[in-house]
Amino acid sequence: MKQFEYVRPSTIPEAVAAAGEPGAAYLASGTNLLDLMKGGAVRPDRLVDVTHLPGLDRIEPLPDGGMRIGALVRNADLARDPAFARAYPAVAEALLSGASAQLRNAATVGGNLMQRTRCGYFHDAASACNRREPGSGCDALHGENRLHAVLGWTPSCIATHPSDFCVPLVALDAIVEIEGPAGRRELALEDLHLLPGETPEHESALEPGELIVALRLPPDAADFARHARYLKLRDRTSYAFAVVSAAAALTVEDGVIRQARLALGGVAAKPWRTRAAEGELAGAGLDEAAFRRAAEIALAGAEPSGDNAFKIELAKRIVVRALARAAAGTPDSLPALPASPFSTQSGAHRHD
């Protein structure tokens, strides 16, 4: 492993100053970063340890009805927080479908947002990867690519974003709070991750030295609590990333969908929000035909990037099933297999 400088700042301004140097990277739990360093996929000159920064480990209800989650809150703690799980059940379900219990106990909210792709060619330092080494090429294009992107990809990069957590957050209009050399700013989570274009090495909209300090859910995100689900299809039932996934959230009145939120995972280099499909669902009934129309719209621009044409139809079916589960109602408690299509839990409402 390459030698690096280790810095442990005591304040956010100190952390931002330390990370503004070329070759610096932030370190929280390291569940993704340290693996990449061990394999040589990333080689930072400096690690800035943010785990001791004050005030970033809180889950705070806001006066306007929203909720603020510090970047150092652990995934497991957030998913099991009763108030959070009641207000945002699809987000809790997504969190509990990711990784293993041990990793969820360590991984942080901020780290989850910033995790890198699980493309095998990115992780293999001997392979050509434009994300890792701009201009080197993309070995995934003609390699093992059944799990790669079908939306928003270019010949420069066909990788997908791996997070489960981000998919329902994007659907619910989550906001990221960022501290940087120029001060504090906010950014819609939907705009945080970038599509590859011709510069896949630019994976996020963060500027050098910028640090995610919190995630915020707006007041109206909780309006969907009665009809919100996350559904994830994977090669094995646990400890696997999504082949495709979908977060569906509805408000329903007299059997008619008044509002819909829909986002996909496992299909692009970022969580894929599909507003056109949401518009199609508004005013529709709770029937499979309406869900199928929405699925067709959601995947209208999809194209295979290799041996993965099956993902397009599979993603459509996951959208239909996620919408059907959301329409049936949020369960009273999370199923034993969160987000799994094999879960048999009924759709009893979480709230009366």
Q: What is the pTM of this model?
A: 0.96
pLDDT at 345: 60
Percent of the chain exceeding pLDDT 70 equals 97
Q: What is the mean pLDDT of residues 271-299?
A: 98
* Extents of the domains making up the chain: 223-328
- Using DSSP bridges, classify how beta strands 24-27 and 46-49 pair: parallel, antiparallel or unpaired: parallel
pLDDT at 75: 97
Tell me the pLDDT tens digit for each residue of 234-249: 999 888 999 999 999 9
pLDDT at 352: 34
Does position 262 have pLDDT exceeding 80, yes or no? yes
Percent of the chain exceeding pLDDT 90 equals 93
Tell me the pLDDT tens digit for each residue of 173-187: 999 999 999 999 999
Mean pLDDT of the residues in the chain: 96
Does position 193 have pLDDT exceeding 60, yes or no? yes
pLDDT at 335: 86
pLDDT category at 343 given cuts 50, 70, 90 is confident
CATH of domain 223-328: 3.30.390.50
Tell me the pLDDT tens digit for each residue of 308-323: 999 999 999 999 999 9
Does position 347 have pLDDT exceeding 60, yes or no? no
Does position 350 have pLDDT exceeding 80, yes or no? no
Tell me the pLDDT tens digit for each residue of 59-111: 999 999 999 999 999 999 999 999 999 999 999 999 999 999 999 999 999 99
pLDDT at 334: 84
Tell me the pLDDT tens digit for each residue of 151-164: 999 999 999 999 99
pLDDT at 290: 98
pLDDT category at 348 given cuts 50, 70, 90 is very low
pLDDT at 346: 52
pLDDT category at 336 given cuts 50, 70, 90 is confident
pLDDT category at 35 given cuts 50, 70, 90 is very high
